[in-house]
Structure 1
Amino acid sequence: MEPFVKQEKSNRPVLFIIESWMEQFNELTVGFTSRHGGVSLEPFTTLNCGLHVNDVPEHVVRNRELVAEALEQPFEAFTYAEQVHGNEVVIVSLEERGSGRASREAALQAKDGFITKETGIVLCAQFADCVPLFFYDPIKRVVGLAHAGWKGTVLNISKATIDLMTHTFGSSASDIRTAIGPSIGACCYEVDQSVANRAKAVLEEVQAAPVEHSTVMVAKENGKYMLNLQELNRILLQQAGILSSYIEVSQLCTSCNTDKFFSHRKEGGATGRMIAWIGLT
């Protein structure tokens, strides 16, 4: 069953929430935005939440405010980073609360993952095909969020996030719930030999079974490969100690569903960004 459930309310942004998590854990707010319900103009119509794509900054900030209003959370809680497709993960304290919500300069610099134990902080990361990774430890009450494009994936940002949760807050990997959000699917994600080699190398590094290699990459006659980033991240999460029953995987492909989401690849780069968010309220 699709874990990300569409939430549509009159005069509000269209959101996709992890409904089962929010029903089980009342303290959580968690989900993924769509492209609808904002104020941006073409080609960023309409709920663009990325300040780095040459949209009108005031429109982007208003879109971010609209998301906060829809979630009934203070805008000051929403915390952003300047993402660089790496595997650096940062602990967010109350001092960093609200970083980057209204300007890129104020964002947490050169980070692609966050964790926090503080209530009243909503972690946000931006996406338009890359894989959103969500983490929640209900025992230690720690949330995490990571941005995994192919570079972050092969750098194993999922393990980096889990390691920081365990080393900093005493989380056990077997307690952590994870979710893999809407992103470009194996149906649409063609890569060249160099990217395929990096994916193969990380599979070999974690000693993945041969059958897992075949589920991650399929060779094409043109010498390229169809890459399943969701499956690769699922394998890496499991290898890091996450129970298979604690890994939710969205079936929503951003490239197939440009009526719902922005897709950098499908739209030739001229498009907006969704945000993934998670926080303890």
Structure 2
Amino acid sequence: MLESVCRNGIHLIEAPSLEIELGVRAVFTCRDGGVSRGPFSSLNLSYNVGDSRSDVTSNRNHLQEAMGIALSNWVFCRQVHGVTATVVGPLQVGRGSTDFSSAIPRCDSLVTRLERVPLAVLTADCAPVIMVAPGGNAVSVAHVGWRGALAGVVTVALDKLTGIVCCPPGGVIALIGPHIGPCCLEVGEEVAERFELRFGDEVIVGRPPAVAVDLGAACRRELEAAGVMSGNIFDTDICTRCDGSYFSYRGYSGTTGRQAGLVAITRYPG
């Protein structure tokens, strides 16, 4: 389902079968292929981390060429590790595409039925989770950190997606992008206990005081519990802290750029 490709000098992870079969483009970026420097080198896509505004704009324009969809159509949100899902309609198109201030506020997932309107979340250890409705007539992307996972952001986004097209969740396709792995996501005992209570002991790695959680497995468990078929869930299984091709908040002590998870309907069904 997921393949590594290079477009316009940018290395991406894509799901080509989704575009062929459903007319949906799903993309996860890495940190290579841009113009940003220092800790933001080089394809930083966030205006809100201290990078040069002009460099971020150049990076987004470069990615726009690789995506083949005008940046003026892209939609971003101001993520807060919450659960709010926003349905993107014509009035929201373009929000956050060229600045941070216009991004949809206090929101961690986006859903749309609009054609050629890429939805984006920005991450640097958190998981970008893309969901595609059966038939490809609606798409969603969610920003999932450990707080959002515990709060149920995946279920909220899935419910919003299936609700706008009135479909059961079983046929939804879910893609879990690069995120910090269980090898590196060490948490306190209280957080680990909450993860075990919500998702089961299989998402817990190690023992106190060195206990970690498996964020990808937690996302998968949440999707399955909500009704998504296990065979429709795909994880890149890339740890953003271990793999130097990605930005990592923990790996760079908080000063780093952001990669993106993007999804767009490129060819409306029928």
TM range (shorter): over 0.9
2:259 equivalent to 1:274: yes
Q: Secondary structure at the match of 2:10?
A: coil
1:255-280: CA deviations, max 9, x gaps?
1101x111111111111000110001
1:143-193: CA deviations, max 9, x gaps?
000000001101111110111123232121012111111111111111111
TM-score normalized by the length of structure 1: 0.91
Select the residue among 37, 59, 76 that pairs with 1:41.
37
Select the residue among 142, 145, 151 that pairs with 1:149.
145
2:236 equivalent to 1:239: no
1:73-100: CA deviations, max 9, x gaps?
1111111000000010000001101100
Select the residue among 102, 122, 127 that pairs with 1:131.
127
Select the residue among 5, 8, 17 that pairs with 2:6.
8
TM-score normalized by the length of structure 2: 0.94
Q: Counterpart in 2 of 1:177?
A: 173
C-alpha contact 1:94 1:121 (8 A) present in aligned 2: no
Deviates more, 1:120-129 or 1:187-196: 187-196
C-alpha contact 2:149 2:219 (8 A) present in aligned 1: yes
Please give the residue correspondences for 1:1-281 in structure 2 after superposition, counting only pairs within 5 Å.
3-9=1-7, 11-25=8-22, 27-139=23-135, 141-203=137-199, 213-221=200-208, 223-258=209-244, 260-281=245-266
Q: Secondary structure at the match of 1:218?
A: strand
Q: Secondary structure at the match of 1:264?
A: coil
Distance 1:32 1:108 in 2: 21
How far residue 200 of structure 1 moved from its aligned partner, in angstroms, is 2.4
C-alpha contact 2:24 2:136 (8 A) present in aligned 1: no
Question: How has the CA–CA distance of structure 1 residues 71 and 140 changed in structure 2, closer, same or farther, with 3 Å as cutoff?
Answer: closer
Distance 2:11 2:170 in 1: 33
Distance 1:191 1:68 in 2: 36
Distance 1:36 1:166 in 2: 34
Residue segments in structure 1 that go unaligned for 5+ positions in a row: 204-212
Distance 2:24 2:163 in 1: 22
C-alpha contact 2:175 2:233 (8 A) present in aligned 1: yes
1:196-243: CA deviations, max 9, x gaps?
12212323xxxxxxxxx332002335x231110100110110000000
C-alpha contact 2:137 2:165 (8 A) present in aligned 1: no
C-alpha contact 1:140 1:170 (8 A) present in aligned 2: no
Runs of 4+ in 1 over 4 A off after TM superposition: none
Q: Secondary structure at the match of 1:79?
A: coil
Equivalent residue pairs, number: 266
Identity of aligned residues (%): 29
Deviates more, 1:59-68 or 1:271-280: 59-68
C-alpha contact 1:79 1:98 (8 A) present in aligned 2: yes
Q: Counterpart in 2 of 1:210?
A: none
Q: Secondary structure at the match of 2:39?
A: coil
Residue segments in structure 2 that go unaligned for 5+ positions in a row: none
Letter in 1 for 2:263: I
Distance 2:57 2:25 in 1: 20
How far residue 140 of structure 1 moved from its aligned partner, in angstroms, is 6.2
Letter in 1 for 2:203: V
Distance 1:21 1:65 in 2: 24
